[in-house]
Amino acid sequence: MTIVADRADPEAPRRRPNRALALLRNSWRQLTSMRTALILLFLLAVAAIPGSVLPQRGVNLEKVNQYFVDHPELAPRLDRIGAFEVFGSVWFSAIYLLLFTSLIGCIVPRLRDHVRALRTKPPAAPRRLERLPQHAVLTGVATDAEAVAAELRRRRWRVVVRGTEVSAEKGYLKETGNLLFHTSLIAVLIGVALGSWYGWHGNRLLVAGEDFCNTRQQYAEAKLGPRVDSADLPPFCLTLNHFDARFLESGQPEFYRATVDVEQAGRATRTETFSVNSPLRLGAANVYLLGHGYAPVLRYTDRYGKTQTSNFPFLTSGDATLTSEGLAAFPDVNVDPKTGKRDSNLQVAFEGLYLPTAPQQGPFNRSEFPTERNPAVVLVAYRGNLGMDAGIPGSVYQLDQRQVTNGKLKQVGDKKLAVGEKWTLDDGSVLEFVGTKPYITLSVRYDPGSTLLLGSSAVLLVGLMGALFGKRRRVWFRVTPAANPAGDAAPTSTDDPAAGSPTGGSSLVEAGGLPRTDYPGFADEFAQLVAAVSGGGEPDERAGGGRGARGPAGTREGAE
């Protein structure tokens, strides 16, 4: 509090008045005032609210797209002001950048002041100690200034002795902590910035038995920071060996675990397992297990007897029983062996559901349990032109419905198949449901800022504790040897308790204390200190600020 008050009072610059400069200086002072910091903090909180109310691209892209569909009028307008990317928007950035500018402008002078305060000695005692919030007078104490100072030093006060006077101060930790806290906020911001500039991440699916290598092309979606190039991705490859999932009877998942083979340049291939809360940490990147599902293995034998197999993943629709939806497309079938030419109107695809535990009776549209107790696929067969040659990128998980509406792709039946069952289509071709393979969804990430983030968060916390629980306070002791009762430093205005009982060889000790920050317990500490200094002697009752008198003493505290 003191610091703020000190800083608030302008140091009356005596330079030639220069309007522009004065304006600049004034705005700077405005910006770095506590008031501005408060307003900016408030704005920051308010600005974050739309980020939770509206769907955000970084959190859930599909929901944003859905919002555009639901609110065709409003959405583009919101989009223009960055409402779907609040935390990267100009206005949000403006607020926190201003706040952090204000913060730096606030820290720098305080750092200077604090360093100065750390180097200056505790100030000399005020002339009239009895005017301080805490005050005590002791008589007949066998001590001197040096002994008092030694006792204070033992209690880790910073002490200076000036003749018969002892000045001491404690609680620099408060300001140190405060500066540490605010500085580490800046470090946190730098950590975040590092992560977004130099970090990258990508997501993909990985079916058991297949492998993937860490290149940009192998990710379904990847985001590289502005300072990262595709060539910078560290080389490594993963093969999914094994995936275990266990569920309770209620269908609630109990645990997931993936086992992979890891190939890294210059190292022997090794096997690692990882799970939801313990990612695979490869040093160059971390691999997180986000989800899992099943890829039905479907074998299609075309009209010429040639066989192809698809084990494309069926995606779960978010329901707990892992009902999945997907597509098995066979664009390169029904190639006439005589001509060797592919007929693009004889392409085949099967679209439908995979149910790990199909119900005993229809409708077969929802699985009953997440593990494979009665696995079945429910498929619709299509024949015709799949529209994959047109060069229009479509989803690999869904049929191009345009081809169905324009009649180029026709339904040729539907069927439910259990494992091992075969389905003969009207043209004599056969589909067999061979079984399934598990797949996992992975997120691979590299965040170079995370160490700094962690470190600065730890410092932040330590600093915060120091700032909140540190208490700055000063005490003074004036020791007057009894042999010289009328020392000019001795208070003569109060009727001196020592005067009546001069004890040979002992001293009169007068003490005063000043809490420099809000500190309700100061009266107790002061009383203890006085008692300790006087070797257990009781402080004079009448001298005020005695021990234990919380109520009345409390009213005087905090007054500076």
Segment near another protein (CB under 8 A), from 327-335, 364-372, 464-472, 522-530?
A: 464-472
234 sits near another protein (criterion: CB under 8 A): no
Which option in another protein, ligand HEM, none does residue 32 bind, with CB closer than 5 to 8 A by kind? ligand HEM
Q: How many residues bind another protein (CB under 8 A)?
A: 56
Please identify, using beta-carbon distances, which residue of 58 and 305 lies nearer to another protein: 58
282 sits near another protein (criterion: CB under 8 A): no
Task: For residue 514, give the DSSP letter.
Answer: E
Segment near another protein (CB under 8 A), from 226-234, 244-252, 365-373, 395-403?
A: 244-252
Spatial separation of the C-alpha atoms in residues 511 and 513, rounded to whole Å = 7
Going by C-beta distance under 8 Å and a sequence separation of 6 or more, which residues neighbour residue 515?
133, 134, 471, 472, 473, 522, 557, 558
Which of 332, 443, 532, 556 binds another protein (CB under 8 A)? It is 443
Which of 32, 51, 143, 436 binds another protein (CB under 8 A)? It is 51
Nearest to 530, CA basis, from 517, 516, 548, 518: 548
Q: Which helix (H) or strand (E) holds 328?
A: strand 324-330
CA–CA distance from 457 to each of 110, 176, 189, 192, 463 (Å)?
A: 21, 16, 11, 12, 10
Spatial separation of the C-alpha atoms in residues 84 and 181, rounded to whole Å = 32
Tokens of 389: 């040659």
Task: Give the x-and-dash track for 29-48 against another protein (CB under 8 A).
Answer: -----xx-xx--xx-xx--x
Minimum CB separation from another protein for residue 550, in Å? 7
187 sits near another protein (criterion: CB under 8 A): no
Which option in another protein, ligand HEM, none does residue 103 bind, with CB closer than 5 to 8 A by kind? ligand HEM
Segment near another protein (CB under 8 A), from 167-175, 217-225, 344-352, 452-460?
A: 452-460
| Residue ranges in contact with ligand HEM by CB under 6 A | 1, 3-4, 32-34, 37, 41, 99, 102-103, 106, 178, 182, 185, 467-468
286 sits near another protein (criterion: CB under 8 A): yes
Spatial separation of the C-alpha atoms in residues 439 and 291, rounded to whole Å = 9
Which of 16, 156, 252, 395 binds another protein (CB under 8 A)? It is 252
Half-sphere CA count of 545, side-chain side, radius 13 A: 31
Does residue 289 contact residue 370 with C-beta atoms inside 8 Å? no
CA–CA distance from 363 to each of 96, 265, 415, 481, 497 (Å)?
A: 55, 51, 12, 102, 100
Peptide bond into 76 cis (omega under 30): no
Residue closest to ligand HEM, measured at CB: 106
Please identify, using beta-carbon distances, which residue of 41 and 98 lies nearer to another protein: 41
Which of 67, 256, 354, 477 binds another protein (CB under 8 A)? It is 256
Which of 20, 69, 248, 265 binds another protein (CB under 8 A)? It is 248
- Interaction residues for another protein, span 296-335 (CB under 8 A): none
Which option in another protein, ligand HEM, none does residue 460 bind, with CB closer than 5 to 8 A by kind? another protein
Minimum CB separation from ligand HEM for residue 3, in Å? 6
Which of 453, 479, 509, 523 binds another protein (CB under 8 A)? It is 453
Going by C-beta distance under 8 Å and a sequence separation of 6 or more, which residues neighbour residue 537?
138, 140, 141, 531
Nearest to 41, CA basis, from 185, 178, 174, 190: 185
28 sits near another protein (criterion: CB under 8 A): no
3-state helix/strand/coil string of 378-435: EEEEEEECCCCCCCCCCCCCCCCHHHHHCCCEEEEEEEEEECCCEEECCCCCEEEEEE
Minimum CB separation from another protein for residue 99, in Å? 10
- Interaction residues for another protein, span 123-182 (CB under 8 A): none
Spatial separation of the C-alpha atoms in residues 386 and 465, rounded to whole Å = 65
Tokens of 176: 């140190």
Please identify, using beta-carbon distances, which residue of 40 and 287 lies nearer to ligand HEM: 40
Please name the residue that has the structure tokens 């071709």.
Answer: 429
Secondary structure of residue 532 in the 3-state scheme: helix
> DSSP assignment of 445-504, as one string?
EE-TTHHHHHHHHHHHHHHHHHHHH---EEEEEEEEETTSTT-TTS--SS--HHHH---T
111 sits near another protein (criterion: CB under 8 A): no
Please identify, using beta-carbon distances, which residue of 2 and 484 lies nearer to another protein: 2
Residues that bind another protein (CB under 8 A): 1, 4-5, 34-35, 37-38, 41-42, 44-45, 48-49, 51-53, 56, 58-59, 86-87, 192, 201, 248, 250, 252-256, 275-279, 286, 288, 290, 443, 445, 447, 450, 453-454, 457-458, 460-461, 464-465, 468-469, 518, 520, 550-551
